[in-house]
Amino acid sequence: MTPRIYIPGDSGALALGAEKVAKAIRAELAERGIEAKIVRNGSRGAYFLEPMVEVATANGRVAYGPVKPSDVKSLFDSGFLTGGHHKRWLGAPDKIPFLAKQTRLTFARCGINDPLSLDAYKSLGGLNGLRNAVAMAPADIVKQVTESGLRGRGGAGFPTGIKWKTVLDTTSERKYIVCNADEGDSATFADRMIMEGDPFVLIEGMAIAGIATGATKGFVYIRSEYPHAVAVMNKAVEIARKAGVLGVTVLGSPNAFDMEIRVGAGAYVCGEETSLLNSLEGKRGVVRAKPPLPAIQGLFGKPTVINNVISLASVPVIMDKGAAFYKDFGMGRSRGTIPIQIAGNVKQGGLFETAFGLTLGEIVDEIGGGTSTGRPVKAVQVGGPLGAYFPRALFDTPFDYEEFAKRDGLIGHAGITVFDDTADMLKQARFAMEFCAIESCGKCTPCRIGSTRGVETIDRLAAGIEPEKNLALVTDLCNTMKFGSLCALGGFTPYPVMSSITHFPEDFKPAPARVAAE
Ligand SMILES: Cc1cc2nc3c(=O)[nH]c(=O)nc-3n(C[C@H](O)[C@H](O)[C@H](O)COP(=O)(O)O)c2cc1C
Ligand code: SF4
């Protein structure tokens, strides 16, 4: 049997040297006169182990990682093609604790095979959901998605089924499905990982959304910083079209659905749905006032479903295994699974898909293994640049939309950034205001002007100028931004700022005291 070697071609693994490892393995094979098939799979998401090379053996796959080009010779000497022991030996990939502890529904196939092999996709249950959907009435598909409890994974957590019903109930002849793959939040990479590692699941989810709502055309808006994802998605769409998954007769049914990939304009605010629509129409990425909702008047003025990549990629498993199966995972009103992206100063960074309900402490300490510097964790920012900083005292918060909201936080797109005790929370608060000032689309005053005044006020605080007055001013400003901004960029910037002030007051002491304390 020709040996089979799996080397991830996902951009995360490439950034960690996967291409150099592939080159070294090819050279070693040639030198030893061994014929082997090299498969470029996606990443399984244990990025602390990338580049993670796998070999298919008679007893299943065996993984090695993180592999360096300098390891390759000794790997061959250790008989890695048949699973031989080596210092990089990790054993069966699905037994690696970081992967074994996960509940993979959305990412079930990600990283296992060549992402562009439709046969491999089908062999692991791919297209089952779409096959069921084409045999159903649109309203029944929408009902199933509603009953699953799926909520938008882009940040707002809005029920996906309700959004789809609004579009289904419109009478327009032209409707659109828009996939939001702008993924601008710090610490997030779930969208990228699935687009590069299992692109057909997103295509399948979008086709189901089209059939469910009467939309025949879809667009994926991918941030310009994701060239690999753009390339993989473009190829996958072409393959799906040739195979009849997309086109005028989806899987041979009377339903038509096709889609195109669009590259984003490079602004954080273009991830906000109405700004994204403007950008997609070739206009400047400025937020539109709501109403009208995009579901009524969206892309080119037509009813439009806008969903995040993970929301859409979670639909196939719901349509395959049923609403009750999906809903069975999770807690409270947060149903199903959530791909948590663990990053920052953390030992075991990567993507961890699990049912809602793990506590923040379990995620940071047990799954993430604490900080990579070995110092104590001081703060964890959950939900990207607009998310709150949680101190260790709040580590018992379960990962759940409502539980985080209760503690003035948010889950957002489920990215978490870990900071050790050297972090200066005043600097982090300033950074949040500065980020808002830079990324503001400029449409409303609280955000456009408020964020700049916020930076100036925090600078005065840092310099020890009238600390009490300036602290009160920042608090007042945050209140104005929170309640007066048109969208969540200005509206949520107060979360990182106020959580820093509330949970880490020692970092906001006047400058001389701060210097003395250091
Ligand atoms: C400033 C800002 C940036 C956003 N960026 C993203 C993004 O990158 N990806 C995303 O899916 N949603 C983003 N959102 C949320 C979207 O506006 C929208 O809620 C989401 O695309 C809806 O899809 P969902 O219901 O599937 O989550 C952003 C919102 C704001 C205010
Ligand atoms: S809050 Fe900021 S980004 Fe949002 S509409 Fe207002 S100015 Fe634009």
**CB contact at 8 A, 55 and 5:** yes
CA-to-CA distance for 384 and 343, rounded, in angstroms? Answer: 11
Q: Whose CA is nearest to atom 14 of ligand 1?
A: 272
- Read off the amino acid at residue 96: I
Give the three-state DSSP class for 289.
coil
**Helix-helix angle 190-197:199-213, to 10 degrees:** 100
**CB contact at 8 A, 187 and 384:** yes
Q: Which atom of ligand 2 is nearest to the CA of 491?
A: 1
Tell me if 129 CB under 6 Å of ligand 1.
no
400 Cα–ligand 1 center, Å? 18
Q: What is the pLDDT of residue 67?
A: 98
CA-to-CA distance for 82 and 79, rounded, in angstroms? Answer: 6
Give the β-pairing of 217-222 and 258-263: parallel
Q: Which atom of ligand 1 is nearest to the CA of 153?
A: 27
Region of 33 on the Ramachandran plot (φ > 0 left; ψ -120 to 50 alpha; else beta): left
Tell me if 270 CB under 6 Å of ligand 2.
no
85 Cα–ligand 1 center, Å? 45
Q: Which residues of 143-171 are buried (b: 16+ CB within 10 A; e: fewer)?
A: bbbbbbbbbbbbbebebbbebbbbbbebe
CA-to-CA distance for 418 and 391, rounded, in angstroms? Answer: 10
Closest CA to 427 of 329, 496, 350: 496
CA-to-CA distance for 44 and 353, rounded, in angstroms? Answer: 11
- Read off the amino acid at residue 245: V
Q: What is the pLDDT of residue 513?
A: 52
* pLDDT mean values, one per 10 residues, the chain (518 residues): 94 98 98 97 98 96 98 97 97 97 98 98 98 98 98 96 98 97 96 98 98 98 97 98 98 98 94 97 96 97 98 98 98 98 98 98 98 98 97 98 97 98 98 97 97 97 94 97 97 98 93 52
CA-to-CA distance for 188 and 465, rounded, in angstroms? Answer: 37
Give the β-pairing of 60-64 and 89-91: antiparallel
Q: What is the pLDDT of residue 516?
A: 47
Tell me if 440 CB under 6 Å of ligand 2.
yes
Give the β-pairing of 217-222 and 176-181: parallel
Q: Which two three-digit tokens encode residue 440? A: 């503001």
Name, in order, each residue with C-beta under 8 angstroms of 202's C-beta and a sequence gap of 6 or more: 179, 194, 195, 220, 233, 309, 312, 313
Q: Whose CA is nearest to atom 6 of ligand 2?
A: 444
Ligand having the closest approach to the CA of 160? 1
Tell me if 276 CB under 6 Å of ligand 1.
no
**CB contact at 8 A, 195 and 240:** no
Q: What is the pLDDT of residue 1?
A: 78
Element (H, E) at 55: strand 53-57
Tell me if 489 CB under 6 Å of ligand 1.
yes
CA-to-CA distance for 265 and 231, rounded, in angstroms? Answer: 17
**CB contact at 8 A, 39 and 18:** no
430 Cα–ligand 2 center, Å? 18
Tell me if 442 CB under 6 Å of ligand 2.
yes
Place of tokens 């199966």: 325
Peptide bond into 66 cis (omega under 30): yes
Q: Which two three-digit tokens encode residue 244? A: 């009849």
CA-to-CA distance for 510 and 442, rounded, in angstroms? Answer: 32
**CB contact at 8 A, 168 and 177:** no
CA-to-CA distance for 382 and 361, rounded, in angstroms? Answer: 12
Q: What is the pLDDT of residue 283?
A: 96
Q: Which two three-digit tokens encode residue 213? A: 């709502």
Statement: the pTM of the whole predicted model exceeds 0.75? yes
CA-to-CA distance for 202 and 215, rounded, in angstroms? Answer: 16
